[in-house]
Amino acid sequence: MNDNLITCPCPRKSDACYKSRVSMDVTNYLCYGCGFQSNSLMKVGEEFYEEQLKTLPELYKDIIFEDENGLRWMPSYFDIQGKGSVFVLGKNAENYGWSAMKHTLVKEEEKEMFKNPKGGYYKFKTDTKTLKTFPREDFIEALDYIGMFGNEEE
């Protein structure tokens, strides 16, 4: 419906925050500068937000922040088939950063270990040997590492 770039309310005030209105009631926000995301339903007391909290790892819960409009912002998690995953990893809210792992093809002899519950087999698996960590201000570098922007080089 309506997409544009805004300044993120994060402490870094990144100008790479993508705002996308998906319905009359819901607007999504994803900041490529800080790696955090939100939407118009991410407020204390909203059922959507409370459901999200039930499934989040403790570290994600610990680093959620609230903006001046009462929206809660949480770290993003990307899992892009054939590319890889980007996620927050760390010991606590003071000591965390972004981590990324690339995907690799599932070998024929491994495919029984990668059954898809919906039928068939997964084509890709996460290659833990490719784990690379990035400082918290380098979210975009973590995405680039897995090839999200078409660059397959490390």
Give the pLDDT confidence score for residue 11 in this predicted structure: 78
For residue range 28-54, what is the model confidence (pLDDT) as tens digits? Answer: 999 999 999 999 999 999 999 999 999
Q: Can you give the residue ranges of every domain in the chain? A: 2-75, 78-145
Give the pLDDT confidence score for residue 153 in this predicted structure: 47
Dig out the tokens for 96 from the structure: 């965390």
CB 62 within 8 A of CB 77: no
Give the pLDDT confidence score for residue 124 in this predicted structure: 95
Give the pLDDT confidence score for residue 3 in this predicted structure: 62
Give the pLDDT confidence score for residue 1 in this predicted structure: 47
Give the pLDDT confidence score for residue 41 in this predicted structure: 95
Give the C-alpha separation, 28 to 14, whole Å. Answer: 16
CB 35 within 8 A of CB 77: no
- Cβ neighbours of residue 71 closer than 8 Å, sequence gap 6 or more: 9, 29, 38, 39, 40, 42, 43
Work out whether strand 27-31 and strand 132-135 pair parallel, antiparallel, or are unpaired.
unpaired
Give the pLDDT confidence score for residue 29 in this predicted structure: 95
- Angstrom CA distances, 109 to 81, 105, 106, 113, 114, stand at 20, 11, 8, 9, 10
Compute mean pLDDT per 10 residues along the chain, 154 residues long, and list them: 77 87 93 94 94 94 94 95 96 96 95 91 94 96 93 48
Give the C-alpha separation, 76 to 106, whole Å. Answer: 26
How many angstroms separate the most distant Cα atoms in the chain? 53
